[in-house]
Amino acid sequence: MGCCFSSDKDEDNRNSPQPDERTQLLSDPAREGSSIPDGRYEAPQEKGDEQSALNQILQQTARDVIDVAALESQTLEQNEYVDRARLYSNRLAVACANSPRHHGQPHLPVGVAAPQMALAAQPITLADIQLITSASQLCSKTVKEIKVRHKEDLVVPFGVP
């Protein structure tokens, strides 16, 4: 649920012992009985009791923090990593091949809705090409001639003694 390509068999595969791309890499600390609090805390006994408020904040922080060092890490060997990557790539290729989005319209440049009209139009004349070339050369020459002359300071102190 929540994934475009999920199905009922995905939930059946979660209980299977064979690792795949959805296998948890970090074990669940709640199942191992770690020292992380279970999330239950008592309400302060008095409204003005600062110690109970501090304990409540500490318990909330301990519940929100994940101690990665205390978790049992699952190390993958190189061949296991390569096998998982290959399996994931194959599954992704199969999922993308069946996607309706992939088999859409052919890729055309933006603004070319009717390519047959663009191909059937008269080609650009030699005079137009020469006009474009001369205009671009003139622009290039003008940009190269731009010079910056220093007239005054850019930073001026205001009211500084």
What six digits make up the tokens of 27?
Answer: 């074990």
* Whole-number Å distance between alpha carbons of 37 and 61: 10
Residue 44 confidence (pLDDT): 46
Residue 65 confidence (pLDDT): 82
Residue 86 Cα distances to 4, 12, 102, angstroms = 21, 22, 21
Give pTM, 2 decimals.
0.26
Residue 135 confidence (pLDDT): 98
* Distance linking the first and last C-alpha atoms of the chain: 70
Residue 114 confidence (pLDDT): 81
| CB contact at 8 A, 96 and 102 | yes
Residue 128 confidence (pLDDT): 96
Residue 86 confidence (pLDDT): 93
Residues of the chain with pLDDT under 50: 1, 34, 44
Q: Is 138 helix (H, G, I), strand (E, B) or coil?
A: helix
Per-residue burial over 113-136, b if 16 or more Cβ lie within 10 Å, else e, is: eeeeeeeeeeeeeeeeeeeeeeee
The values of phi and psi at residue 159, to 5°, are 60, 25
Residue 134 confidence (pLDDT): 98
**Which residue spans within the chain are E strands per DSSP?**
none
What six digits make up the tokens of 99?
Answer: 């996607």
Residue 50 confidence (pLDDT): 85
Long-range contacts of 13-20 (CB under 8 A, 24+ apart): 19/80, 19/84, 20/84, 20/87, 20/88
